[in-house]
Amino acid sequence: MAEYDYDLITIGAGSGGVRASRVAAAHGARVAVAEEHRVGGTCVIRGCVPKKMLIYGAHFAEDLEDAKHFGWDIPECTFDWVKLRDNVLGDVDRLNGLYTKTLESHEVEIFHERATITGPHEITLSSGEKKTAKVILIATGARPHVPSFPGHELGITSNEAFHLDAIPKRVLIAGAGYIANEFAGIFNEFGAKVTLINRSDQLLRGYDESVRDRLLQISLMKGIDFRFNAEFIKIEENEDGSLTAHMTNHEPLEVDCVMFATGRVPNVEGLGLEDVGVEVDEKGAIKVDEYSKSSVDHIYAVGDVTNRVQLTPVAIREGQAFADTVFGDKPTTVDYGCIPSAVFSHPPIAAVGMTEAEATNTLGSIKVYTSDFRPMKNVVAHRNERALYKMICDAATDRVVGMHMIGPESPEIMQAAAIAVKAGLTKADFDATVAIHPTMSEELVLLK
Ligand SMILES: Cc1cc2nc3c(=O)[nH]c(=O)nc-3n(C[C@H](O)[C@H](O)[C@H](O)COP(=O)(O)OP(=O)(O)OC[C@H]3O[C@@H](n4cnc5c(N)ncnc54)[C@H](O)[C@@H]3O)c2cc1C
């Protein structure tokens, strides 16, 4: 008889948990995973994937306008939110099925239930059933943080945004991170009057100032309003179902929907961590070492619950590294250097490496090359939106240490450019590469 029911029990079947479970099983481990919502986790069910589909759907508003300038006679268009919503949710169902099949084909047992840790090697499912494992992996992700003030419960989060019955006519989005800016773009393109409220006067902290400023200018041009240095006082529901948001430093605002995109907190409540001695930091994130091991020897954690870098590809790498280390006899750590990222705003932003400010502080002497241009398509379309590409180099070595872009397709372009930055290439290497003409990305090898 084996000492434990399983070699590994994973709590949470999201990006990190699914990868870790499937790879551990491929290494020969007996694996079970507990999932309280839907297999696939945030990214697949209510994050990256459905969001990107809404971004595509939203962008047609501009494409259809632009097409007129390319000779297309576009009759008056109407937009059917319910059709888009249901098509997106249909694809989410398909992916949920695929992720489930992946686990099943690797003989990973799935418990469609909440799990809590109730002993050093034991979990208890919500049905009351207890299971034991040699190793426990916590991959429970994060959830939206909603500030506490009178009426906050009248608002929604990104979780609910994918299921709305209709596009609200007036939306107030709280927050200034990537989720807030992406949904501001989505609702705005669908014809809603969007206002973004933020505690500070900065959007997208962590991104380079020039691209943040450019997004602000373009968003204002598209009709998105901003209320900076504002904190909620209360939200009241009116007789007609609309909401009035009261905030500091600004007049009250009547809207039909308030959406909170005010950060995400690690899912650790009620997991039983204290009872088994798993330590968390001041934000509630599970403390782990470079191999994702917690303060307890046989309990590990990967993904958003550790609050290292809250992105799907990072959670996946952490899950893979965990499985290779613990079950594949191949100790592996994740390299967190030069992680590229994107904001799928309209237009999108993409970045890798240091911002200009960070590079100045770290390296002292830097060189900055920029291209501020109006993409050819925007010229013909009479769209007065300029793209901005910025390359930051270490003045001493010519090495490219950061790249920042805002403009059409910039995340697609950045994924390729990030390879060069990660590889430590220099400005001269970029210059030595012949341009593909005419493209937007050729600006990268023609930067002055
Ligand atoms: C709106 C939105 C857009 C995003 N867009 C992007 C993007 O464009 N690109 C990108 O890289 N990242 C994006 N992200 C972030 C990305 O979704 C996360 O970084 C990623 O999903 C983290 O994976 P994870 O495995 O740590 O957790 P998750 O994918 O969140 O999985 C955790 C799972 O654990 C389950 N769970 C929690 N507690 C328990 C319990 N006690 N018992 C059983 N199950 C439990 C949850 O139900 C969940 O399914 C987005 C997130 C959101 C919210």
pLDDT for 158:
98
Residue 161 CA: nearest ligand 1 atom is 1
* Positive or negative: CA dihedral 32, 34, 35, 41: negative
At 106-153, the pLDDT tens digits run 999 999 999 999 998 999 999 999 999 999 999 999 999 999 999 999
* CA 277 / ligand 1 centre spacing (Å): 24
Instruction: Using most ligand atoms within 8 A of CB, pick from 43, 187, 286 the residue to mutate for ligand 1.
Output: 43
Instruction: Return the residue matching tokens 């995109």.
Output: 261
Q: Give the model's pLDDT for residue 2.
A: 79
437 labelled catalytic: yes
Q: Which atom of ligand 1 is nearest to the CA of 12?
A: 34
Q: Whose CA is nearest to atom 7 of ligand 1?
A: 48
**Quick one: average pLDDT of 337-360?**
97
Name the strand (E) or helix (H) holding 58. Answer: helix 48-69
Name the pTM for this structure: 0.97
Amino acid in the structure at residue 171: V
User: Which among 223, 243, 210, 245 is positioned nearest to 355, based on CA atoms?
Assistant: 210
Residue with tokens 């023609």: 446
- CA-nearest of 207, 255, 208 to 227 is 255
The contacts of residue 439 (CB under 8 Å, 6+ apart) are none
| 299 SS3 class | strand
Which residue, among 366, 350, 448, has the nearest Cα to 407 in the 3D structure?
Answer: 350
* Pair 230, 199: CB distance under 8 Å: yes
Q: Which residues have CB under 8 Å from 297's CB, separation 6+? A: none
Would you place residue 1 in the very low, low, confident or very high pLDDT band (cuts 50, 70, 90)?
Answer: low
Number of H helices, E strands in the chain: 13, 22
Measured CA to CA, the distance from residue 287 to residue 305 in angstroms comes to 9
CA 426 to centroid of ligand 1, rounded, Å: 36
What lies within 8 Å, CB to CB, of 432 at 6+ separation is none
Choose the residue to mutate in 140, 146, 260, 273 for probing ligand 1, maximizing ligand atoms within 8 Å of C-beta.
Answer: 140
Phi, psi for 395 (deg, rounded to 5): -65, -30
Q: Considering only the C-alpha atoms of the chain, give the largest distance between any 2 of them, rounded to a whole number of Å.
A: 74
Q: Give the nearest ligand 1 atom to 319 CA.
A: 25
CA–centroid distance, residue 104 to ligand 1 (Å): 20
Q: Output the DSSP codes for 104-151.
A: HHTT-EEE-S-EEEEETTEEEETTS-EEEEEEEEE---EEE----STT
**Residue 368, both tokens:** 């900055």
The confidence score (pLDDT) of residue 355 equals 98
40 Cα nearest atom in ligand 1: 49
Ligand 1 centroid, distance to 140 Cα (angstroms) = 8
Residue 113's pLDDT is 97
Residue nearest to ligand 1 atom 31, measured at CA: 14
Q: Which two tokens stand for residue 271?
A: 């997991």
Per-residue pLDDT, 382: 96
Pocket of ligand 1 (CB under 6 A): 11-17, 34-37, 41-43, 47-48, 51, 114-115, 139-141, 158, 179, 267, 271, 303-305, 310-313, 315
For residue 444, give the amino acid letter. L
Both structure tokens of 181: 């800016």
| Strand pairing class (366-373; 387-394) | antiparallel
Looking at the DSSP assignment, which residues form a beta bridge with residue 270? none
- Is the backbone peptide bond immediately before 168 cis, with ω within 30 degrees of 0? no
Span from the CA of 41 to the centroid of ligand 1 (angstroms) = 5
pLDDT band (50, 70, 90) for residue 195: very high
Which of 312, 318, 344, 345 to mutate for ligand 1's pocket (most ligand atoms within 8 Å of CB)?
Answer: 312
Q: Rounded to whole angstroms, how far apart are CA atoms 16 and 99?
A: 12
Measured by CA distance, the residue closest to atom 49 of ligand 1 is: 41
Q: What is residue 9's three-state secondary structure?
A: strand
Apex 104 CA angle, 99 and 105, nearest 5: 100
How many angstroms does the Cα of residue 266 sit away from the middle of ligand 1?
10
- Taking CA atoms only, the protein residue closest to ligand 1 atom 26 is 303
Q: Which domains does the chain have, with CATH numbers?
A: 6-143+265-327 (3.50.50.60), 152-262 (3.50.50.60), 347-445 (3.30.390.30)
If you take atom 48 of ligand 1, which residue's CA is the nearest one?
A: 41
Phi and psi, residue 214, nearest 5°? -65, -40
Report d(CA 9, CA 21) in Å as an integer. 8
> Which residues are bridge partners to 9 per DSSP?
32, 136
Is the CB of residue 261 less than 8 Å from the CB of residue 180?
Answer: yes
d(CA 199, CA 233): 12
Tokens of 288: 């782990």
Q: What share of the chain is helix, strand, coil (3-state, %, to 5)?
A: 35, 25, 40
